[in-house]
Amino acid sequence: MTPQRTAQAIAVRLSGTGNGDMLKSVYDTNDDGKVNAADAADSVPWTGVSGKPSTFPPTAHQHSAADITAGTMAAARLPAASASAAGIVQLSAAVNSTSTTVAATASAVKIAYDLAASKLSTGVSWGQLRGDS
């Protein structure tokens, strides 16, 4: 059979079957975005589902942090912050720390600011201390 005759035979065989077209007007007559047969599946009561297991034992698993949109997450699963990466930090009110893994609280910054401001000489501005021209 030639390719042309094969195509004609297929066309004849498929005539009247819709040729594989899934028209929304035919298969989603209530325009809810679901094929009509799926609407029926939504209304099956749990007791009407056959072949389901009798128990659903939990199994160990994890989700990506991006999958969690509500609730709480264990702090151990949050990434630690650093000078080069965003993440969770511990706050500290210390004004003499050299740590790069904790963040200063507003009170620590205010203490450091007040100390620096108290050391300004009369007539010397912050701009002069910074080297502003």
Each residue of 78-112: pLDDT tens digit? 888 888 888 888 999 999 999 888 999 999 999 99
- Domain of residue 85 covers 79-120
If one counts the domains in the chain, the total is 1
Contacts of residues 36-42 at CB distance under 8 Å and 24 or more positions apart, as own/partner, are none
For 72, how many CA atoms within 13 A lie in the half-sphere containing its CB?
3
Q: Per the domain annotation, does 88 fall within a domain?
A: yes
| Torsion over CA: 51, 52, 53, 55 (sign) | negative
Task: Give the bridge partners for 103, in sequence order.
Answer: 91
Q: Per the domain annotation, does 94 fall within a domain?
A: yes
Burial class (CB in 10 A: 0-12, 13-18, 19+), 23: exposed
Which tens digit of pLDDT belongs to each residue from 30-47? Answer: 888 888 878 777 788 888
Q: Per the domain annotation, does 35 fall within a domain?
A: no
Q: Per the domain annotation, does 32 fall within a domain?
A: no
Distances (CA, A) of 26 to 13, 23, 29, 33, 72: 21, 5, 6, 12, 45
Q: Per the domain annotation, does 91 fall within a domain?
A: yes
The pTM is what? 0.38
Question: Which residue reads 């059979």 in tokens?
Answer: 1
Q: Give me the pLDDT at residue 16, please.
A: 64
Q: Per the domain annotation, does 51 fall within a domain?
A: no
Q: Per the domain annotation, does 67 fall within a domain?
A: no
How confident is residue 61, by pLDDT bands cut at 50, 70 and 90?
A: confident
Q: Per the domain annotation, does 85 fall within a domain?
A: yes
